[in-house]
Structure 1
Amino acid sequence: MPSALPDGDVAPVDGALPEPALRGLGRRPFGVYVHVPFCATRCGYCDFNTYTAAELASSPASPTSWLAAVRQELSMAADVLGTPPPANTVFVGGGTPSLLGASGLAEVLDVVRDTVGLAADAEVTTESNPESTSPEFFEGIRAAGYTRVSLGMQSAAPHVLAVLDRTHTPGRATAAAREAHRAGFEHVNLDLIYGTPGEQPADLARSLDAVLEAGVDHVSAYALIVEDGTALARRIARGELPYPDDDVLADRYEQVDSALAAVGLHWYEVSNWATEPKAWCQHNLGYWHGADWWGAGPGAHSHVGGVRWWNVKHPARYAALLAEGKSPAAARETLTAQDRHLERVMLELRLVDGLPVDVLTPQAQSEARAAAAEGLLDEAALAGVNGRFGRCVLTLPGRLLADAVVRRLT
C-alpha cells in the first residue's frame, strides 16, 4: 500500500506562495514532475502512490479524469508563479507512465507546454515498464518531444523478478532499450535493484551483463528497501524470506560499481552511473541541488524557493479538489536555514563533485578531516588546490557509509 504523507502546515486553498519564495524564480533551474498513479499490478516491494484498476474500480478516478486534473493543476501553477520560467526539465514518473501509451504521454507533454511552458532544449524523461512498450511506442514519444527514457529492469534473473513480483520477462528490458535507441533516443536508463532475498552474485552479474549488452548510457542501481505495509515486508515477517543483510548489500554495491566502471559507466551520484556528464539526469540534479520544481499529480511533491508541499494521494480526491478550483496540496512546510543546510549536506555529498568544505561549520570541517583520515572522504579533494577551498567527496568506502558521513558533518 502507498506510504503515508508527512505532516505539515495547512496549505492555502488557492496554492499561493509567499513572496520571498518567488524571488529568484527563473534564475534557478525549474523542473516539472508529473506523477502517473496507475499500474497494471502492484509489485511486492513497492509503497509508491500507485493504484491498479481493481483498486480504483469503485472510484471515479481514471486516466482521463487524471489528465484533466493535471492540466488544471499546472494552469494553477502558472497563475501562482506569475510568469513561470519555461521548464528546463520534465520527468513523468509513477506508477507506470507507459500504460498511457504514446498518445497519452504526448498529451501530458502538451499540457506542460500549454501551461508553464517548455524550454527549447529541455530534458524530457518518462519512466516505462518494458512490458508496456514497443518500437511504435518509442517512435511515438520521441516524435512528441521526449528526449530520455528510464526503463524498470530490476533484474535479469527470473527467480529474483518473482520475489519482487515483477511481471516482465528477463530479456524484455534489454530489448526495449534497443528499441528506444533505434527510435532515436540517445539517453536511455535502466533501473536495477540489488540485494533481493535469494539473489546470488551470479544473478547480479547476469543482470549487469544484460545492462552492458543493452548499450545504455545511464544506470540507476538501488539496494532493496523493505517498506512497511508491502507484501514483501509481510513475507519477511512470516519468515518466508530473509531480511536483506547490510554486508551483502555492500558487496553487491561494489560488484555493481566495479562492473559498470570497467566499461566506462562512472558514478556521478551514489546510486547513479553514466558514460559522460551529458548523460547525467538533469531533472534529478535539480532535486539534489535544491532547485525549483512543481510536482503535478496525486501525492506529488513540489519545491519553490524554500517552500515545499505535497498533494493529496488518492486520484479521485485529487481530481475533485481541482474540479472545485482548489489546490490539491495536502500540506506544506517552509524550510528554515538549518533545514536547507542539512538538506544541502545530505544531497550534495552524494554527488561526484561533492560538497564545498566552506559551507560546513568549523566542527564539521574537523569531522571531515577525520573522515578523510579514515578513508571515507577523498583527501586530495578535501585539501583543495591553489589555495581554493576543498570539497568533501566520498570515496568508495564512503559511498557505502554515506548516511553515516552525513550525520558526522551535520
Structure 2
Amino acid sequence: MAGALPDGEPVPVDGSLPIEAVAGAGRNGFGVYVHVPFCASRCGYCDFNTYTASELGGGASREGYADTVLSELKLAQNTINPEKVDTVFVGGGTPTLLGADDLGRILEGIDQAWGLADGAEVTTEANPESVDLDYLRRLRRNGFTRISLGMQSASPAVLRILDRQHTAGRAPRAALEAREAGFEHVNLDLIYGTPGETADDFAASLRTVIDAGVDHVSAYALIVEDGTRMAARMRRGELPYPEDDVAADRYLAAEAALSEAGFSWYEVSNWATSEAGRCRHNLLYWTGADWWGLGPGAHSHVGGVRWWNVKHPATYAKRLADGASPGQAREMLTDDDRRVEDIMLRVRLSDGIPLARVDQRGAEQALEDGLLVPGAYGKGQLILNLRGRLLADAVIRDVV
C-alpha cells in the first residue's frame, strides 16, 4: 500500500472550496478521476493505494463501491459547477474488477452531475486477465471510449519478477479484443529496466505492442519504491538494483522502434500514432487544468486548491455515510507553486514551454549542453531533443 499522505490544512466537513476557486472551475478544462482501489493480487513493485481482499478488512467491499463513489459525486456536485466534463479516467488498482455496469453507473452519474462534453474521452485502466470480449463490449456500450491495458512486458520471466498474473500473450490479445469491441483508442503500458530483463526481452515487448495495433504506448522505467516487496528483495540481495545506463538504453530502443512504426512522442514517457490518440485526460493534468478525484486516496485540483481523500476504503465509505467530505487535507497553491509545477510538467511535453516562462540562464545552459531543439529555441520555445528527454529531470532543475 502507498505511503502516508502529505500534511495540509483541514478540509471543511462539507468539502466547500474558496469562492475564487469555485468561480474559475473548469475554465481551462475539467476532468474527473475515479480511483478503484481493488486488486486481485499485489504486484511486487506497486506502492499505489490499492488493496487485495485480505488487506481490505471490514467496512468496504467491491459490491457497494459504485454507490459510495456516487455519494462523493453528489457532494462534489454541490461544491462546484464546471461547464462540462472533458475527460474521465478510471484508474486503480484494477477498475475492471468492478462490473462493467457498475463502471457505467459511475459514468452516468458524472454525466448527470456535470454533463459530459460532446466527444468526451472516457478511459479505464484494466489488467489483461481481468477482461474478456464480452466485458469489453459492455464497457463500450456503457460509454467508455478508451482503454489502457497494463502489459508491462512480453517476457514471462520479467512478468514473474514483477509478480504480474497474466501470461505473456494475454495483453496483446486483450488489445485486439478491445478493438473488436469497438474501442478506437487502446493503450499498452510497458515497464523497462526490470532486474533480469535483457535487451532482447525489451525488443520483443516493443514488437508485441506494435503488432497489437494499438494507437498509444506508455513506457516507464522501473522505480523501486520503499515498502514494496521488490525493494525488500533488493535489500536482501535477491535482485540487483536497476541501472541508469540500462534504462537509458531501453528508452532509446523504445524511441527508435516506436518512431519507425509511426508513433510520435508527445510526453517523455508517452507515444501515440496521431494527435487523436493522445491521452487527453493526462494532458489536462500536464497543462494545469482542473479535476475532481473520486475515491479513497484520490487527489483533486480546482482553481489552485489541491486536496486528497482519506486512504482506506472503509474510512472513505464511513465519512460519506456520515454526510461528510472524505477529504483528509488540502493546500492552497501559491503563484510560485503553480509556476514551478507548470514548468515541471510542460518541459516534458513535445510542445515544450515558452522561454519567457523559465529561467533564462538555465535554458541557455541546456541549449549549450545539447539538450534542446535549437530551431525551437530560436523561436522562443524550449523543447527537449532526444538527449534532453533522457536528462529531462536535470533540465527541469536548471530552468525552474
TM-score, scaled to structure 1? 0.96
Q: What code does the residue aligned with 2:392 have?
A: A
Q: What code does the residue aligned with 2:62 have?
A: P
**Equivalent pair of 2:296/2:316 in contact (CA under 8 Å):** yes
**Partner residue of 1:394?**
384
Output aligned runs, 1:256-405, within 5 Å.
256-360=254-358, 364-384=359-379, 390-405=380-395
Q: What code does the residue aligned with 2:377 have?
A: L
After the TM superposition, which of the residue ranges 227-236 and 18-27 deviates more from structure 2?
Answer: 18-27
Structure 1 Cα separation of the partners of residues 98 and 15 of structure 2: 28
Structure 2 Cα separation of the partners of residues 27 and 248 of structure 1: 42
Structure 2 SS opposite 1:344: helix
**Which 5+ residue runs of structure 1 have no aligned equivalent?**
385-389
**Partner residue of 1:66?**
65
- How many angstroms does 1:279 deviate by? 0.6
Q: What code does the residue aligned with 2:396 have?
A: V
Change (3 A) 1:244 1:191: same
1:97-117, CA deviations, whole angstroms, 9 ceiling, x for partnerless residues?
111132222122122123232
**Equivalent pair of 1:208/1:256 in contact (CA under 8 Å):** yes
Structure 1 Cα separation of the partners of residues 142 and 293 of structure 2: 21
**Partner residue of 1:43?**
43
Structure 2 Cα separation of the partners of residues 327 and 24 of structure 1: 21
After the TM superposition, which of the residue ranges 102-111 and 341-350 deviates more from structure 2?
Answer: 102-111
Output aligned runs, 1:7-406, within 5 Å.
7-56=7-56, 58-81=57-80, 83-360=81-358, 364-384=359-379, 390-406=380-396
Q: What code does the residue aligned with 1:76 have?
A: L
Q: What code does the residue aligned with 2:13 have?
A: V
- How many angstroms does 1:63 deviate by? 1.6
**Partner residue of 1:407?**
397
Name segments (4+ residues, structure 1) moved above 2 Å: 23-27, 83-86, 114-117
CA RMSD of aligned residues (A): 0.9
**Equivalent pair of 1:78/1:84 in contact (CA under 8 Å):** no
**Which 5+ residue runs of structure 2 have no aligned equivalent?**
none
* Aligned length, in residue pairs: 400
Structure 2 Cα separation of the partners of residues 116 and 70 of structure 1: 15
Structure 2 SS opposite 1:64: coil
Q: What code does the residue aligned with 2:388 have?
A: G
**Equivalent pair of 1:135/1:179 in contact (CA under 8 Å):** yes
1:207-241, CA deviations, whole angstroms, 9 ceiling, x for partnerless residues?
11110110100000000000000000000000000
Structure 2 Cα separation of the partners of residues 66 and 338 of structure 1: 38
Percent identity between the two aligned chains:
61
**Equivalent pair of 1:75/1:116 in contact (CA under 8 Å):** no
Q: What code does the residue aligned with 2:194 have?
A: T
Structure 2 Cα separation of the partners of residues 201 and 207 of structure 1: 10
**Equivalent pair of 1:160/1:196 in contact (CA under 8 Å):** yes
